[in-house]
A and B are shown apart, each in its own frame.
Chain A
Amino acid sequence: MDASLIIFFLLGFLTIGGAVFMISFTKVAHMVISIGVTFISIAGLFVLLEAEFVAVSQILVYSGAISILMLFGIMLTKHDASEDEPSKAQPFWLTWIFVAGLFLIVAYGIYSTNWNVLPPRQLDPNVSNVKEIGVEVFTNFVVPFELVSVLLLVALVGAIIMAKKEDKD
């Protein structure tokens, strides 16, 4: 048995487990911690998929920035917020059935497709993943890259304006 397989199972288990715990916990703080586990496990999966740069970004952005942002959001709203009762906007079973239905139909799609015709990409050992991405970003994807930077700026400014206390004048 391949070592990568064991690692995959471990990471997959942690990923899904974290997600399920997040759904089933009642305390909001616990939820954020459990989803942190999921985010880190996903970074592990990225490493397993030979995408080191993305894995690092995942840890930085999700586990670091987003999780912390969520914790701040919790602190600024209700410290002891807890999910005591679920939403009553629609019946529980309806959501359940359709989510399960989506799962089944996509799973059927995955397993009925013959993926084996696609050989895994062979990496050039001399070119690092970071360099490869950097070349791509600054050649083929330079315009989206700049646009995303603008998007981030706009989001930053917008978030500050929305979050700041309104003047009482």
Chain B
Amino acid sequence: MTVTLSSYLLVALILFCVGLYGALRKRNAIIVLLSIELMLNAVNINLVAFSKFGLNAAVTGQIFTLFTMTVAAAEVAVGIAILLAMFRNRDSIHVDEMDSMKR
């Protein structure tokens, strides 16, 4: 008995849901960013799993994962930069206080 595709998908799903919950519930912007990384990672697991077990199993899935990582890295860099700028101006990194465009 070997590891099946569904097992990977299930792990990825749990990871995604935990990430989603964190992204929607946490106040600290850094943790929200981390939760988003978790969700991206869950997607990566899926992509790699399908590159092995998928209908047209090919190395393309892994290449896509690499792209995702690149984009995620860029996103984290910009996100942290925004947080730093905001912290300088507002002395807070709480997500629920980032609503100045509404006020």
Contact = CB atoms under 8 A, between A and B. Distances in A.
The answer on direct contact between A and B (beta carbons under 8 Å) is yes
Given A57-B69, A86-B26, A121-B53, A8 B3 contact: yes
Contacts, number: 229
B24 A133 contact: no
Interface of B: 1-11, 13-15, 17-22, 24-28, 30-31, 33-35, 37-38, 41, 44-45, 48-49, 51-55, 57-60, 62-63, 65-67, 69-78, 80-85, 87-88, 93, 95-96
B66 A133 contact: yes
Contacts of A102: 17, 20
A73 to B, nearest CB: 4
Interface in A19-37: 19-20, 22-23, 28, 31-32, 35
A36 to B, nearest CB: 10
Q: Describe B's contact surface by its main secondary structure.
A: helix
B83 A73 contact: yes
Contacts of B9: 110
Contact of A141 (B5, B31, B63, B83): B63
